[in-house]
Amino acid sequence: MIIRGVETWTERLPLTRPYVIATREVSTVDLHFVRLENSLGVSGLGCAAPTAVTSENAEDCLGAMDVAARDILKGRDPRLLRTLARQLQSECSQYPSAVAALDMALYDLLGRSMNVSVATMLGPSMKPLPTSITIGILPLEETLKEARGYLARGFNCLKVKLGLDYDEDLERLRALRLACPESVRIRVDANQGYTIEQTRDLFREAHALDLELIEQPLARGKEEDMLKLSGDAQRLMAADESLHGPMDALQLTVNKSFGIWNIKLMKCAGITGALDIADLAVLAGIDLMWGCMDESIISIAAALHTAYACSQTRYLDLDGSFDLSKDVARGGFTLSNGSLHLLEEPGLGVTLAD
């Protein structure tokens, strides 16, 4: 069972609507895709979503993915998955999303070849969890309008982007909490836009606002400042930009400045890197949140399979494919009453759209 064929390509995909976060405005995304085919005619798919978060140039990322697929994977046996994944990590360390795409394509290929799902390959799968759906930084009335639209579609967990103006953020959150039923969960993400004083103030408001978690309030590199918060505040905080790969996770286990880790396959070079982080989370007693960029169904499914195989998983923020006005793939999972359900299909359960 040798990898005989490799194919890589790029798609520029518009979003359903542009959105604003504390660091930029986004209206389109360039996604890179890979298809691996073995000697039996079975294929595996992967998707890379290079962004400013991963510090990758989109063109260079595609080039690295193309070279690695040809030079490292072609002619190799995908059953040597862990060895191949480590080689990809070592030789393409500057391009984590490229490695993520190749890594998940290997898992998809191996699962399809064995006629089992990736989640089954990885271990016992947990029950479906709700995913949050993201509201960007918007004026108050637009925030409430978008929230009403998401609730009408069956979502029951909202993630609100913050970080440009603390007073306006607080006004939006108070109005949103009043407008939503008590059963609706609200999470916030400051995208590194706050000071330690603002973070402390927001935690004081968290109980009245019934906030589920506060994601990355301070900039990467200021993890020591998080120790100025109370233990209760730290447990409510989720590391995103502060957590890329396993080495970051290892450092964060030392002081436990965050009680939650947000794993994104694009940051940590795929399923293999995510599992390394998850193992550390088990040892450190850290809860896991699984996030994403604006991504194809392919990589969202890869994150979901991995999430459901990890015992520390508590939160999903896997809404990236819902932001695309079109996708190159279909399948992977279904959305029901705001929760994500895996398909009973081999591999990642995805196929290329017609």
Q: How many CB atoms lie within 10 A of CB 148?
A: 12
* Model confidence, pTM: 0.94
Query: What distance in Å separates the CA atoms of residue 177 and residue 31, rounded to the nearest whole number?
Result: 35
Task: List beta partners, residue 104.
Answer: none
272-312 pLDDT, tens digit each:
999 999 999 999 999 999 999 999 999 999 999 999 999 99
- Check pLDDT > 80 for residue 18: no
More confident residue, 255 or 339: 339
Query: What distance in Å separates the CA atoms of residue 148 and residue 353, rounded to the nearest whole number?
Result: 31
Query: What distance in Å separates the CA atoms of residue 277 and residue 198, rounded to the nearest whole number?
Result: 29
119-161 pLDDT, tens digit each:
999 987 889 999 999 998 999 999 999 999 999 999 999 999 9
Provide the pLDDT for residue 24: 64
Question: What confidence tier does 21 reach under pLDDT thresholds 50, 70, 90?
Answer: low
- Check pLDDT > 70 for residue 338: yes
48-61 pLDDT, tens digit each:
999 888 888 889 99
Q: How far is CA 108 from the centre of its chain?
A: 18
Question: What confidence tier does 17 reach under pLDDT thresholds 50, 70, 90?
Answer: confident
Instruction: Output the six-digit token pair for 218.
Output: 């301070």
191-205 pLDDT, tens digit each:
999 999 999 999 999
Instruction: Output the six-digit token pair for 204.
Output: 């004081």
